[in-house]
Amino acid sequence: MAELQKTKRSLAKKDPAAPHEILLVVDATTGSNALAQAREFHQALGLTGLIVTKLDGSGKGGIVVAIQGELKIPTRFIGTGEKIDDFTLFDAQKFTAEML
């Protein structure tokens, strides 16, 4: 964490607005552990978004809702496979409809 905080400070020296985004990538199969990871990274860095991978093989995609609800960190992208076309912008309505 200290190394990431140092990187963030270094970027801010070059551009006071940097970094413009701080995204955390979590694996949907980690379940509730993803929430714990998000808490730690958000506390240390101030996350601006989330990328969730492996949503195609997991029934644990609900972690998106838990992270958004508790930490107010929006999900920006999701990965549902191994191909580049399987990496898409997060659509909350579509995600919710598919969960139900």
pLDDT-above-90 percentage for the chain: 69
The more confident residue out of 55 and 37 is: 37
Average pLDDT over residues 84-95: 90
Tokens 């990274």 sit at which residue?
41
pTM of the complete model: 0.87
Residue 9 lies in a domain: no
Q: What is the CATH number for 69?
A: 3.40.50.300
Domain that holds residue 22: 18-99
Distance CA 91, CA 12 (A): 31
Distance CA 24, CA 41 (A): 8
* 7-54 pLDDT per residue, tens: 999 999 999 999 999 999 999 888 889 999 999 999 999 999 999 998
Residue 1 lies in a domain: no
Domain count, the chain: 1
Residue 52 lies in a domain: yes
Residue 23 lies in a domain: yes
In the predicted model, what is the mean pLDDT of the chain? 91
pLDDT at 59: 63
